Structures are given as C-alpha cells and as structure tokens.
Amino acid sequence: MSELPNSSLLLYVFNPEFMFDPKLRDKLLFEDRHFTFIRRYFWSYNTLAVVNTGIKSMIAAYVDTFTDSFWAGTHPILWSHRYPDTPDGVAYRERMASVRLELDKVVQELTEVLKRNERTRKEIENLRDQLFSGSSIKESRRAIEQGDNIRILTMISMIFLPLTFVTSVFGMTVFTIPATDWRFALTMILVCVPFMLLITFLQTRSFGVLLRKLGAIGGAVARIFNSLRRHARDSADVSDNRSVAAVAPRTSSGTWSLRVPTWTRERIEDLEKGGVGERSM
C-alpha cells in the first residue's frame, strides 16, 4: 500500500533532466495529439482517490470495532474474558496490549499513507492545471498566427480588387479601345494608387488616431452649432415676450389691460355720436 504513491509518481513527476533539456520541458508542458499526460494525470488522480477511500474505511472500521472494552476483555461479544481479574485474565490483557500496539502502529502508517496520497493528488492537480494553461496558451498563440495569416491574405486580395474593377470596365465589348490607349493606364493609376494608400493608412495606428481626432473635432463643432441654435431660439422667445408686454401693459392696479388702437377708438366714438343724434331726432 505504501508503495503505490511512489509508483504513481513515476507517471507524471518531472525528470530531473528537465531543468537542462528544453525539449523535455516542452514535452511535459504541452499536450501531444495522443493526450498522453492528461491520461496519466487522470488515472493517477482517480486511483489515489479510490485508495484513500479504502484507507479511510479501514481506519474507521478499526476505530469502531476495537474499542477500549475489547482490549480490556470486557466486551460482551468480541473476545470477552470470563474472569478478567484472574491471572489468566491479566495475561490476556497484557497479550492484547502488545497486539494493540502493533495494530495502532499499522493504523498510524495508514494515516501517513493517506496524508501522502492527498499531497500527491494535490501535486497532480497542480501539474494538470499547468498542462491546461500551457496548452491553452499554445492554442491561443496558434489562433493569433492564423489570424495574422488571414490578414495578410486579405491585404493581398484587396490589391487585386481595384485591378479587377478597372479591367472589367475596360474589358466591355461595347467599347472599342486600342491596346495603346493611354486612358487605361491612367485610370489604373488613379483608381489603384488611392485605394492602396487608403488601405495602408487604415492599417496604421496613426490613421486611427487621426480618425479619432477628426471625430472629436466634428463633435465639438456640432456642440457649438447646437449651442448657437439654442441661443438664437432663446433670443426669439425673449423678443416675443417683450412684444406681448408692449401690447398689453400693466395698469396701476396690477392687472393687464389691452391697448386699443387709435382708429378703433375714433370709430367707436363716431358710432356713439351717430346713435345719440338719431335718438334726439
């Protein structure tokens, strides 16, 4: 039983040569296509768990069965002595005491094996986590490299995109263009060169900074325009309020009265005079 942790350690513990052998370090840190080390870690971790369960069961059975009454010879069922105070009973207790010492020693050894197995399982768990971390980093790095390769292929395909556009336009059968026509070369240059420069600038960090600055400037201009428009609207509201106040001034009593135009008052007076004259006639 005590040899089992050492035998399982042979499956995963680093070889002392790993300190000076980079290939061995890479082999132990990164998983291969056959999942060799993760299989070993899985077997060792779960095997030690089964062994620890058995050891705990044996220790629990010993403690529950071999009680103090058993060793004293007074247990009613297990090895009870009929006359414990006789010389035969005393000799029985002395012999059982030596047996108890041997069994306690074995139980103590099993306890040490249990603790060692737990430490070994913890080491296996740490190595398994390191293996997962190393393999994950390797896969992430590989994904980044694939992304860079795809980016390069995309850039190459973007070079042929304006070329395809120009050649498709000048390749139409409705046009009669001689081979020595200068318009094809000029159009090719005017379309391809700005397009390639734009693609190149878009891939640079300085162009991204420039775009952010232009966006900030545009936002500032928009805020200034909104503030001016809001100020103009507030000024118009103030002028409207002033015109209303001029039309309806406040009287001495604190109430508002409407100012009647002059021609309206004269018309009203004429009508009143005409009414009075008709009554007198």
Given this model, what pLDDT does residue 189 score? 86
Q: Which residues contact 247 (CB under 8 A, 6 or more apart)?
A: 258, 259
Give CA–CA dist 259/247, Å, rounded.
Answer: 6
Nearest to 109 by CA among 195, 257, 5, 9: 5
User: What is residue 226's predicted lDDT score, i.e. its pLDDT?
Assistant: 86
Those residues whose C-beta lies under 8 Å from the C-beta of residue 256, and which sit 6 or more positions away, are: 248, 249, 250
Boundary (domain end) residue, out of 90, 123, 148: 148
Domain count of the chain? 2
Decide which of 244 and 72 is more confident: 72
The reply to whether 173 falls in a domain is no
pLDDT value of residue 273? 63
Last residue of a domain, one of 117, 148, 179: 148
40 domain-assigned: yes
Q: 171 in a domain, yes or no?
A: no
Would residue 65 count as lying in a domain?
Answer: yes
Q: What is the pLDDT of residues 11-46, one digit of tens each?
A: 445 566 767 777 777 777 777 788 888 888 888 889
Same domain, 133 and 48: yes
For residue 162, being part of any structural domain is answered with: no
Residues 45 and 121 in one domain: yes
Tell me the per-residue pLDDT of 248-276, one tens digit each, with 9 for 90 and over.
455 444 444 445 455 455 656 666 665 54
Q: How far apart are CA 245 and CA 14, in angstroms?
A: 95
pTM: 0.49
Identify the pLDDT of residue 266.
61
Q: Does residue 93 belong to any structural domain of this protein?
A: yes
- Whole-angstrom CA distances from 212 to 194, 199, 202, 226 are 21, 17, 12, 21
Separation CA 163–CA 103 (nearest Å): 90
Q: Which of 148, 175, 201 is the last residue of a domain?
A: 148
d(CA 69, CA 102): 18
Residue 133 has pLDDT above 80, yes or no: yes
Q: Which domain holds residue 209?
A: 193-249+258-280
